[in-house]
Amino acid sequence: MGQIAAVISRRNTDVSEVVRRMLEYASPYPGEAHGLGSEKGARISAKIPEIPSSPSILGHKHIKVNPEDPAQPLSQHGYTATYEGRIWHSSDTSDANAIMDTLGPEARRGAEALLEENCSLALAILDHGRLLCARDTMGLVPLYIGENEALIAVASNRKMLWTVGLDAQAVLPGHVTEISVEGIKSEPVRTLSQLPPASPSMDDAVKTLDELLTKAVEVRCREAFKVALGFSGGIDSSLLAHYADRAGARVDLICVGMEGTRGFETAESAADALDLPLRLEAFTADDVEEDLDTVLRSVEEADPMKIGVGLPTYWAARSAAETGHTIFISGNCADEVFGGYQKYVREYVSKGDSVRETMYRDVASSHEVNFERDYKICSDLGLELLLPFADIDVVRYGLSLPTELKLSKTPASPRKLILRALAREKDFPEELADRPKKAVQYSTGVNKVLQKLAKAEGKKLRVFLAERFARVKENMLGETYY
């Protein structure tokens, strides 16, 4: 795990200092190693190494999560590659070997083949003067691109591009993007598509979903002795806790919220039912004020919803990091795939099955709305974020299910019907299986505190956060982490 930096000069000038500066801004978490690679070879050392001048350079800051994770870049067949994330296979082969074997002798064809696999990754390859980059179909791992008249650069977060004067745009999920001195060309390989509805019974759908979630969690916990799980006591996190425990990992549940929130009682009763250890951490308005800039720095934008979700995510992930964890699991994507939002019920009641298209669009945009935010928060804390509900096989099956297995046309009834049926099949208590959904920014009490902070300055929340982020960004670009 770590951060990718790659630069190509449009003027055939040396870009080593540009890549170096990007790596210096990559993350506040100290890396175990840094690597730079060009057509002249690769060098890896504890600090950012020196490298001969070159108009195209690939860089990587390495944060070791798994003992078998190698420092990067990696070279083979005349090209140099770096990646972030995993390929979800069940063999004993390391991720690095599986990824490099899939890439094979032809970099472009290998990048396309890799996207056809079940994976969660971002990839950059320097191949004979051109740069190839790609993201998995769901866009689970962030990757951004920026350009001006002098250079084109790719990075794991926006601030790495901002610091060299470039605006940042997300690399498209499921695409291979080819970058050369002539410009940028992106082509789809395996993008998410809406599937025609299947018609299984609820019992058959529960059986298939159980198999898919079992596999999705098992491959993610394959080499993990222990995992931390952001836990609310709701149906999504409770199911993931069950599957992770069954996969043999030591599961530590973490629930965070403002002092006095009723969510703690919910989490405690669910953890007791699962017979798993739970850590509760309560925060105050002063904590929101103190940690807000850190979250803005990681999220890299001032959207109120993203910050309202980002703060409790940051607290839970920080708690995991402080207690020695390197892996953080979240239930992100369950609501979009299986119908967790009240807006879906309203549309289902008023417009019928058109809600399937709404849910598909929400899943397809989750990389921008949710995944990038949470991945960057975790990365800045030295954690790898894993999202079993966003496993491509789980998502494709979930999107294919008929709406009536997810939603009822009775507005007050529970949503995510198939997940609740799955919970009952696992003998979860009725109270847990039927527990209603509540958005994290509201259940934790964070949104109310943010509104109060904005009101104290006589501002709307959106204006308050935008001005706060502008100051954070200005200060951020005046410093480095080295």
pLDDT digits (tens, 9 = 90+) for 100-134: 999 999 999 999 999 999 999 999 999 998 999 99
pLDDT digits (tens, 9 = 90+) for 67-96: 888 999 999 999 999 999 999 976 778 889
pLDDT at 382 over 60: yes
Fold of 202-464: Rossmann fold (3.40.50)
Can you give the pLDDT at residue 262?
Answer: 80
SS3 category, 378: helix
Q: pLDDT confidence of 479, banded at 50, 70, 90?
A: low
Q: pLDDT confidence of 285, banded at 50, 70, 90?
A: very high
Q: pLDDT confidence of 373, banded at 50, 70, 90?
A: very high
Compute, in degrees rounded to 10, the torsion defined by CA atoms 149, 48, 83, 171: -30
| DSSP letter assigned to residue 18 | H
Can you give the pLDDT at residue 66?
Answer: 84
What is the share, in percent, of the chain residues with pLDDT greater than 70?
97
Can you give the pLDDT at residue 299?
Answer: 97
Can you give the pLDDT at residue 89?
Answer: 79
Give the Cα separation of 16 and 55 in Å (integer): 8
Can you give the pLDDT at residue 197?
Answer: 87
Tell me which of 277 and 195 has the higher pLDDT: 277
pLDDT at 441 over 80: no
Question: 2-188 is classed in which CATH architecture?
Answer: 4-Layer Sandwich (3.60)
Half-sphere exposure of residue 59: CA atoms within 13 angstroms, side-chain side: 34
Q: pLDDT confidence of 263, banded at 50, 70, 90?
A: confident
| DSSP letter assigned to residue 129 | T
pLDDT at 482 over 50: no
Average pLDDT over the chain, rounded to whole? Answer: 93
What average pLDDT does this structure show over 338-342? 94
- Cis peptide preceding 73, ω within 30 of 0: yes
What average pLDDT does this structure show over 146-157? 96
Can you give the pLDDT at residue 261?
Answer: 80
Can you give the pLDDT at residue 463?
Answer: 97
State how far Cα 435 lies from the chain centre. 26
pLDDT digits (tens, 9 = 90+) for 34-63: 999 988 788 999 999 988 899 999 999 999
pLDDT digits (tens, 9 = 90+) for 270-284: 999 999 999 999 999
Can you give the pLDDT at residue 64?
Answer: 87
Q: pLDDT confidence of 223, banded at 50, 70, 90?
A: confident
Q: pLDDT confidence of 440, banded at 50, 70, 90?
A: low
Residue type, 232: S
- The β-bridge partners of 185 are 178
Give the Cα separation of 16 and 8 in Å (integer): 10
Answer for the pair 388, 329: CB distance below 8 angstroms, yes or no.
yes
Q: Single out the residue of 90, 77, 180, 174 nearest to residue 135, CA to CA.
A: 174
Residue type, 393: D
Q: Single out the residue of 102, 170, 95, 174 nearest to residue 138, CA to CA.
A: 174
Compute, in degrees rounded to 10, the torsion defined by CA atoms 88, 64, 160, 80: -70
Domain ranges of the chain: 2-188, 202-464
